[in-house]
A and B are shown apart, each in its own frame.
Chain A
Amino acid sequence: MAEVRLEGVSKVFGDNKPVISSLDLTINDGELMALIGPSGCGKSTILRMIAGLAETSEGNILIGGVRVNEMSASERNVAMVFQNYALYPHMTVRKNIDLSLRLAHVKKEERIARVAETAKICGLEDLLNRRPAQLSGGQRQRVAMARAIIRKPKVFLLDEPLSNLDAKLRTQIRTEISDLQKRLFATMVFVTHDQVEAMTMADRVAVLIDGVLQQVGTPKDLYESPINSTVASFIGSPPINLFSGRVCREGGKMLITTASGSNLEINCSINERILNRELIVGLRPEDLDLGSPNLQGLSGKIGLIEPLGAETLVYVDLQIGRVGFGDETLSADSKIGQDLVEQNGKSINRFIVRLPGWRTLRVGDNVVVIAKESARLHLFEPESGMSISTSRESR
């Protein structure tokens, strides 16, 4: 296996705006890296550039320390699993797996042995004589993986390989791919728009928005310390609650005062410099609770309840003012965290509260949203959207 390094890589189609601009990213040897971002952010283009299926407009791609920009797709020795698996429909599973070896003129005995070994790894021994049309979605996915494995490539590239599977199978295959990656100690780059896949499978996650790499880190880093409000809103399901507010100190208590004047008490220590400043405040749904009306919190009405068994998601409509993003720098897709709805001409911010177990609540109930004792507060600059601590470091 090998390390993959992208140095200042850009991709431009025609005379248009770059799809990828000056990307620097290193995928370590034996690491499973997830590229995540909304549709059209350029993550598949990155994968295709690494594979040699798309040309690089600028920058260098290095696999195992060797520049591969001018190498053809087959010379790079990378394997790719496509979203639709791209199996050859007229060939049996055996021939599908075997083709790369046949084209490389590998001896028949060796080919037979390697097909058997790969089929065993992927659990395909009984399916070798079937055609793709005779396989289920999960089996096809395994054939696509087997086709990649048999070549013993330096890097595995997976382009949304689970998106064509149903929810149950997706969970199963997710585990299988993770297991396989660990067993083979393979360098894998995994493209997905599903953050659950990225968070559960990847060693590290790279968040890409509009062709710009926002943050690279472990799933824990991204979730707990997002570099900006865009990453904060993209990572986490259900998404983080973002709203405009000021952090104030009142009689020894820390309060978040919203644009509409409501106060939310929070237990945290805050740097004096950011007190009383207009900021973007972020609170994860699991850091919130519903309290009795006499508590200091944000009052609102329940707009929607989603009981999920182990937990209940409660959507509370609050009149607390629109979030002030720097509109020019962030696309509509990146504002996932705020769920604004218009009611009687006023903008209502829909807060999501994650409560454990089943709850006997009704839509339309008046409630007060409070922050838990253990709540972790995320603060972002209103103009740039950068995390307060991060933005200070970078300046």
Chain B
Amino acid sequence: MKANNRSLPQRNRNSPETSAVYNSRIIVALSFLVAIIMILPIYYMLYLSFSARGKEFAFPPTVIPKPFVVGNIVQAMKGDTLPLWPNFRNSLTYAGLATIGALLTESMVGFAFARLRFPGRKILFGITVGMLIMPFVVTLIPRFLLFKQFNMASGLTPLILPVWFGGSPYGIFLMRQFFMSIPYQIDEAAKLDGAGPWRTLWLILMPQALPVLVALGMLHFAYFWNDLLGPLIYAQKQDSKVLTQGIIFNFMSNWSPTWNLFMMASLLMILPVAIVFLILQRRFRQGFLFSGLGGR
């Protein structure tokens, strides 16, 4: 056997095949590293969520928390001081209405920029794109003062209402790019069939934009669902507080935070978004491909 092995031609370490194998190994190793970095916080979150009170940071650490407390799920929903259900309902109202508003208005504005010819179109679009680099905090105080003038600075309305007037520049840009990728002859065919711009948008273009709407809707929903800064400013009353506020006030407001319940509540909070994402992830990727903004 030895003699046979010796008679085989030695593989050159610098040959293209060998370097390709090494390269792919390096890529796999790096991918693992990145995956671990990404997964580790989620694992730690899960670990803390099922830990018993006072045993969250036990040393030496174990792979699975001991004891494994499933009852934290119910305990977290009940809250330390107040139940989280009303906050959940408020979050759903805020994220749901804001997402619908954003998608509707972004589609309409995107359609106008992509298809309608009106004076000042290019300038307006330039301003919209310019808004992409504008940090949210810059408009925070002027917006608050504006709503205060109208006696509307309390509750969820100041958070939902602006979204119904154009959504985000990013969404407008994304929708415009998608509509521009649809051949203009489709609009012309609809025009000959008797459809005006409004019907062309709703009957012809919007159904085709479904993957983009799903992708954009998920991004928006996740943003509004996780929003803390906005509700901290406007949703001061107890009955309008959202989940992010509820979790903080319940589990983080005293000198010794209940880490296990805090993590469990956070886990329960991201669960709906994660489940929806997992179900719609194919559509989500398609959306970015169709809009011409995605990679492969």
Contact = CB atoms under 8 A, between A and B. Distances in A.
Interface in B176-234: 183, 185-186, 188-195, 199, 203-204, 207-208
A89 B207 CA distance: 9
A84 B190 CA distance: 14
B185 A86 contact: yes
Nearest to B203: A99
A88 interface: yes
A82 B193 contact: no
A364 B152 CA distance: 91
Contacts of A99: 190, 193, 195, 203
Nearest to B184: A86
Contact of B195 (A80, A83, A86, A103): A103
A374 B106 CA distance: 71
A104 B189 contact: no
A368 interface: no
Interface stretch (A16-24, A71-79, A222-230, A241-249): A71-79
B189 A80 contact: yes
Contacts of A392: none
Nearest to A76: B192
Contacts of B203: 99
Contact of B208 (A80, A89, A103): A89
Given A89-B208, A90-B207, A74 B185 contact: no
B208 A86 contact: no
Given A86-B186, A86-B188, A100 B193 contact: yes
B204 A103 contact: no
B192 A80 contact: yes
Contacts of B189: 80, 82, 86-88, 147
Contact of A74 (B183, B186, B193): B193
A103 B193 contact: yes
Contacts of B208: 89-90
Contacts of A73: 188, 191-192
Given A82-B185, A86-B183, A86-B185, A74 B207 contact: no
A82 B204 contact: no
Given A88-B204, A89-B208, A90-B207, A74 B188 contact: no
A99 B192 CA distance: 11
B207 A79 contact: no
A166 B242 CA distance: 61
A100 B188 contact: no
A51 B190 CA distance: 12
Nearest to A90: B207
Contacts of A90: 207-208
Nearest to B204: A88
Contact of A84 (B185, B193, B199, B204): B185
Q: Which residue of A78, A80, A99, A104 has the most chain B CB atoms within 10 A of its CB atom?
A: A99
Contacts of A74: 191-195
A66 interface: no
Contacts of A79: 192
A88 B195 CA distance: 13
A61 to B, nearest CB: 15
A89 B211 CA distance: 14
Contacts of B188: 51, 53, 73, 80, 82, 86
Interface string B139-161: 00000000000000000000000
A82 B188 CA distance: 9
A172 to B, nearest CB: 24
Contacts of A82: 185, 188-189
A83 to B, nearest CB: 8
Contacts of A104: 194
Interface in A17-70: 51, 53
Contacts of B204: 88
A53 B186 CA distance: 12
Contact of B192 (A78, A84, A87): A78
A112 to B, nearest CB: 18
B194 A53 contact: no
A89 B204 CA distance: 9
A192 to B, nearest CB: 17
A143 B191 CA distance: 17
A282 to B, nearest CB: 39
Nearest to A54: B188
Contacts of B193: 74, 99-100, 103, 147, 151
Contacts of B183: 84, 86
Nearest to A159: B185
Contacts of B190: 88, 99
Contact of B194 (A80, A86, A103): A103
A69 B208 CA distance: 33
Nearest to A103: B194
Contacts of B191: 53, 72-74
A100 B186 CA distance: 13
A395 B190 CA distance: 48
B199 to A, nearest CB: 7
Nearest to B208: A90
B186 A88 contact: yes
A335 B113 CA distance: 42
Interface in B118-166: none
A216 B188 CA distance: 29
A49 to B, nearest CB: 13
B211 to A, nearest CB: 11
A147 B186 CA distance: 13
Interface in B261-275: none
25 contacts: A51-B188, A53-B188, A53-B191, A73-B188, A73-B191, A74-B191, A79-B192, A80-B188, A80-B189, A80-B192, A82-B185, A82-B188, A82-B189, A83-B185, A86-B189, A87-B189, A90-B207, A90-B208, A99-B193, A99-B203, A103-B193, A104-B194, A147-B189, A147-B193, A151-B193
Query: What are the 3 tightest A-B residue pairs by CB atom distance, in nearest-first order?
Result: A86-B185, A100-B193, A86-B189
Interface of B: 183, 185-186, 188-195, 199, 203-204, 207-208
Given A103-B199, A151-B193, 5 more contacts: A74-B194, A86-B188, A99-B193, A103-B193, A147-B193
